[in-house]
Structure 1
Amino acid sequence: MTTGLWGVTSGISGATVTAATPPACRRSITTIGAARPRLSPSGVVLEGPEWPIATATHFVPSFAALTDVPYSLRLELSVRVGGAWSPWAAGATLGPAAFESAVPIDALAVDIDVFTSRAPVEAARLRVRLREGESAAVLGAPWMLTLSAFEPSARPGPAAGSLVPGIHIAVPPRSQMDAEAAIANRVCSPTCVAMLLDFWRRPVTFEALIAEMFHPALDLYGVWPAAIRAAGRRGLAGYLLRFPDWPAAAWCLAQGLPIIASIRYGAGELTGAAASQTPGHLIVLTGWDGEMVLANDPAAPSAAQAARRYRLDELERVWLARAGMGFVIFPPDLPLRGA
């Protein structure tokens, strides 16, 4: 599988972001000085550089500003195919802003947080749209704009060798069942983000985080870039990445970086799972022990029951052979062994 992370930062060291990225997925992280957005008829637009992302067909962007100021955003992507740039395609708006409606285009299909090109691309460019009255505070704070680009046709093979001696990151467990009963089965994403905020000592009111991450137009709590935006509002950097294989994930865990993993499975596919089956769910990977992966599963009935041990071969199948998406969240000044 071809997969990599591109990005641009301001006020956050590009070297730090690179050091927090699995080596096999490192591409280009550029640090710039003051942002130079431009005013448009519908908000303020900050555009990243052109990235030579050859052969990729799938893209997942994210943006985080390290400020507690509430703000809205929309991520927009353009790709070059056959020497010509496509019009800009827009993802879901995060926050209450009513940006000008995006026009669907032939070159790129958009499914909430995933952009899919109809043909392998030669290059891509990413931009974030902000409200004019909020842009100065947002872009005056440290921020990062990233793009996970991948070609998912090749599936990961089995992990090589044993995982001993093992790693365990002490992420405080939470259960989504602590939320209101009417939504408890739907809030795995805010629950996982809350676990990582607890771990990085940015505790949050659970109910407030759930409300912040809810997308009323889509009736969803699990829009992927909303997790990175929410972490940024608590002073944490982060990115979304299509993980290519288990060694890339194990590398993050060995650096002390927990991973929020997007999984889906049918009955009997994940032994010992908190839910018998799910069309889409998030868990926090916290390490491994031998051939078992350690995780906090928010679908558990209580926080005390959230810690789980899943077989590596099964987790690879329900995570890496399917969505494969992971969220990595970390302090922007964290010294990392991967540097």
Structure 2
Amino acid sequence: MTSSAPRRTVLAAALAAAAGVAAPSAQAADASRSPAAGAAAPARTPDAPARRPKSLVDYHAWTTTADWARGRGRGTAPAPGARPGIRLAHPTGTFDYRDPHTGRSATWEYATWTSPVHRLAVPATEVVASWSAHTPPGTWIAVELRGTYTDGGRTPWYVMGRWTAGDGDADIRRTSVDGQKDGKSSVSTDTFAIDTPASGLRLTSYELRVTLYRRPGGGVTPTVWRLGAMGSDLPDRFEVPASTPGLVGRELTVPRYSQEIHKGQYPEYDNGGEAWCSPTSSQMIIEYWGRRPTRQQLSWVNPDYADPQVCHAARYTFDYQYDGCGNWPFNAAYAATYRDLQSLVTRLSSLTDAERLIHAGIPVITSQSFLKTELDGAGYGTAGHLMTIVGFTKDGDVIANDPASPDDAAVRRVYRRRQFENIWLRTKRKNAEGKVVGGSGGVCYLYFPAKPAPTQHRVLADLGIR
């Protein structure tokens, strides 16, 4: 259903083999519903949660004026306006870049900002960076990560993405960078990973560097409003503990779009609509927040195509190296190109976290992989697929907008809580051939306003997001 999973599946399978992971005796998740029909929800509010167990996920970001002041700027300055950020003020050098996807060479002037070292609350086996930025035509940014291992060694500066919002003649092509490794860790498209977690090696800290580029002598500049990363050390698990339904019985009014109606459209972007689960999910949530492309922005789309904004999202999330629309941070960055939206990639620990976000009015885009028999009502199996949690029934089951539906009207689905939670949160599974492959471990995209409502702010803060 999406092309975002195979390279992650290959990586996870390699890690599983290195770690000597064995399959459990019972692979399939419990298919029964967790709560009894009509069970009463526990009396608690989204901003007064029950005690949370120690998290195995550490999301950290730099977003405030004070945050930017703590970093090391070389040619950057505070961006004017109500939203704190940084911009290119005084170039500190030039960089000759030959775009591997267009063959064009150009000289760019640049400035850099480097974060303080962030010590991870949980030493990590994986790190995913994400950002919110504005890149006018003729500008772009590069996000890099450098970390320290538990053995005292350091990684090289890994490129986590070269990104721009556009794809015009003045722009580079947004791209991940293959082939990055140092014998201890490597980067697979958008994810830094320790090569052999079973060795005990972990990443204890990291710093992020963002380089802002523009044409020499140009007056325009990129602006970066959010720069962050999610580090995690999840145990190998084929099954996860079941959560108890709490804040249930609410459904958000989220637009419903099918990726399947776009089959064959613009095959240059990830073979057409059948692989567009990630941008289709992103577009649903962007429009939930009241944003959408203008008529002029959509003028390139064939007027005979329904939901042209989905085609637009696919084009502008496309990673030219990965050759697909499933790059997690690129989807988040696309969402943040819309007015006063911010976005990030993280992991959640259970459906309880998702319940609190839904109760506060924030939908959750989730990444999962499963066999056809593991998710009743889906009607398909997938090596990786993005869909959106938009609510919970009174029984605690998941209401999802699933873009892998034959048409827009069929997008709303209700999936059994226990099944959905397991296929989303597990890190290991068996595929149809019986081979051990990876799961996303609870990866999600969160898109929300630059100035969240107080309840939204409290829920996000409790999940380590500010």
Q: TM-score, normalised by structure 1?
A: 0.84
Structure 1 residue 34, shift from structure 2 partner: 4.7
Secondary structure of 2:335's aligned partner: helix
The answer on 1:47 being equivalent to 2:114 is: yes
Partner of 2:158: 89
Q: Between Structure 1 and Structure 2, whose CA radius of gyration is higher?
A: 2
Query: How much has 1:316 moved relative to structure 2?
Result: 1.3
1:125 equivalent in structure 2:
207
> In the aligned structure 1, how far is the partner of 2:213 from the partner of 2:135?
15
| Deviations 1:298-337 (CA, angstroms, capped at 9, x unpaired) | 0101111000001111111111113011000011022131
Q: Which moved more, 1:281-290 or 1:89-98?
A: 89-98
Which has the larger displacement, 168-177 or 61-70? 61-70
Displacement of 1:190 after TM fit? 1.0
- Equivalence for 1:20: none
1:1-339 equivalences under 5 Å are 2-10=56-64, 34=86, 39=92, 42=95, 43-53=110-120, 54-66=122-134, 71-81=139-149, 82-95=151-164, 97=172, 104-118=181-195, 119-133=201-215, 137-139=221-223, 143-153=225-235, 155=237, 157-163=240-246, 165-181=248-264, 182=267, 183-204=272-293, 205-235=309-339, 236-273=341-378, 275-289=379-393, 290-321=395-426, 322-323=439-440, 324-337=442-455, 338-339=457-458
State how far apart, in whole Å, the 2-side matches of 1:13 and 1:335 are: 21
Distance in 2 (CA, whole Å) between partners of 1:207 and 1:217 is: 19
Deviation at 1:276, TM superposition (A): 0.7
Partners of 1:150 and 1:244 in 2: CA distance = 11
Q: 1:73-117: per-residue Cα shift (whole Å, max 9, x none)?
A: 332111112334321112343345379978532343101111013
Change (3 A) 1:331 1:55: same
Contact 2:185–2:194, Cα closer than 8 Å, also in 1: yes
- State the distance in 2 between where 1:126 and 1:250 align: 31
1:210 alignment partner AA: A
Moved more, 232-241 or 115-124: 115-124
Kindly provide the CA deviation profile for residues 223-282 of structure 1, in whole angstroms up to 9, marking residues without a partner as x.
Answer: 111111111111210110011222222221121110110111112111111x51111110
The separation in 2 between residues aligned to 1:225 and 1:261, in whole angstroms, is 13
Say whether the 8 Å CA contact 2:132–2:227 is kept in structure 1: yes
8 Å Cα contact 1:243/1:326 also seen in 2: yes
CA contact (8 A) 2:332 2:343 kept: yes
Contact 2:343/2:446 (CA < 8 Å) preserved in 1?
yes
Moved more, 60-69 or 93-102: 93-102
8 Å Cα contact 1:67/1:234 also seen in 2: no
Any idea what SS the aligned residue of 2:349 has?
coil
Unaligned runs of 5+ in 2: 1-54, 69-82, 96-109, 165-170, 196-200, 294-308, 427-438, 459-466
The one-character-per-residue Cα deviations of 1:150-183 (angstroms, maximum 9, x if unpaired) are: 0011657433333464221111111112325251
Q: Which moved more, 1:56-65 or 1:73-82?
A: 73-82
How far apart are residue 210 of structure 1 and its match? 1.6
Code of the residue aligned with 1:160 in structure 2: it is S
Deviates more, 1:47-56 or 1:91-100: 91-100
Cα distance in 2 between the residues matched to 1:6 and 1:52: 10
CA distance in 1 between partners of 2:241 and 2:251 (Å): 21
**1:216 Cα deviation (Å)?**
2.5
Aligned partners of 2:312, 2:248: CA distance in 1, in Å?
Answer: 39
Question: What SS is found at the alignment partner of 1:286?
Answer: strand
Q: Distance in 1 between matches of 2:419 and 2:385?
A: 15
| Map of 1:22 onto structure 2 | none
Q: Give the gaps of 5 or more residues in structure 1.
A: 15-30
Shift of 1:39: 3.8
Aligned partners of 1:41 and 1:147: how far apart in 2?
27
* Residues 8, 35 of structure 1: alpha-carbon distance in 2 compared, 3 angstrom cutoff: farther
Note the aligned Cα RMSD (angstroms). Answer: 3.0
- d(CA) in 2 for partners of 1:62 and 1:217? 18
Q: Which moved more, 1:257-266 or 1:92-101?
A: 92-101
Greater CA drift, 214-223 or 299-308: 214-223
Q: Distance in 2 between matches of 1:254 and 1:108?
A: 38
